[in-house]
Amino acid sequence: MSEQIGLFYGSSTCYTEMAAEKIRDTLGAERVRMFNIADDEVLQDIEHFSFLIFGIPTWDYGELQEDWEACWDELDQIDFNGKKVAFFGLGDQIGYPQWFLDAMGYLHDKVINLGATPVAYWPNEGYEYDESKALTQDGTHFVGLALDEENEFDKSEARITQWCAQVLDAFGLPAHDG
């Protein structure tokens, strides 16, 4: 497999899928392989990658997106030791301010407990919400890129560009020049 980065995402209404495509193109499409977590037997592909990106939106007042939820227990079978994982989450900070991006926090915590090294945390400055389970312990960062297509779609492109540079740096891969 020539792609170096495995990007796994779940998406109920396509926003996370569209963000995943932008992230792939920003990192360089030739080195990213995308997987929709809803597809059959997709978890088996995780083991092929040392560099992973996981994308998850939050649904229904702080719940996991349904396709991630469907494979939640199966994730426990995967050995994440030696793997670097970057996370991105989608949420709505105005509509669901008490549960902003909670699912990204749950996924991060689970994968870390399975041995992964997290990379590319993202400053929470400038976001307006009340509570989030996706914060670092010191409360200064989200555990991954925070995207809000409902309220701040105009900021997503710049956020993705900046975060992808962080991700490549953390993976020790050269910048994408195209």
Strand 32-36 with 5-9, pairing: parallel
Stretch that binds ligand FMN, among 22-30, 32-40, 44-52, 55-63 (CB under 6 A): 55-63
Stretch that binds ligand FMN, among 25-33, 76-84, 89-97, 165-173 (CB under 6 A): 89-97
Q: With binding defined as CB under 6 A, does residue 92 bind ligand FMN?
A: yes
Nearer residue to ligand FMN within complex by CB, 58 or 168? 58
Minimal distance, residue 57 CB to ligand FMN, in Å: 3
Q: What is the DSSP string of 32-99?
A: EEEEETTSTTGGGGGGG-SEEEEEEEEETTTEEPHHHHHTTTGGGG---TT-EEEEEEE--TTTSTTS
30 phi and psi angles, rounded to 5 deg: -70, -15
Minimal distance, residue 2 CB to ligand FMN, in Å: 28
* Binder of ligand FMN out of 6, 11, 33, 37 (CB under 6 A): 11
- Identify whether the C-beta of residue 86 lies closer than 8 Å to the C-beta of residue 144: yes
136: amino acid identity, one letter? T
Q: With binding defined as CB under 6 A, does residue 15 bind ligand FMN?
A: yes
Q: With binding defined as CB under 6 A, does residue 26 bind ligand FMN?
A: no
- Identify whether the C-beta of residue 125 lies closer than 8 Å to the C-beta of residue 147: no
Q: Count CB atoms within 10 A of the CB of residue 172.
A: 8
Interacting residues with ligand FMN between 59 and 88 (CB under 6 A): 59-62, 65
- Identify whether the C-beta of residue 83 lies closer than 8 Å to the C-beta of residue 117: yes
Minimal distance, residue 10 CB to ligand FMN, in Å: 7
Q: With binding defined as CB under 6 A, does residue 20 bind ligand FMN?
A: no
Q: With binding defined as CB under 6 A, does residue 105 bind ligand FMN?
A: no
Interacting residue ranges for ligand FMN, rule: CB under 6 A: 11-16, 57-62, 65, 90-92, 96, 99-101, 149-150
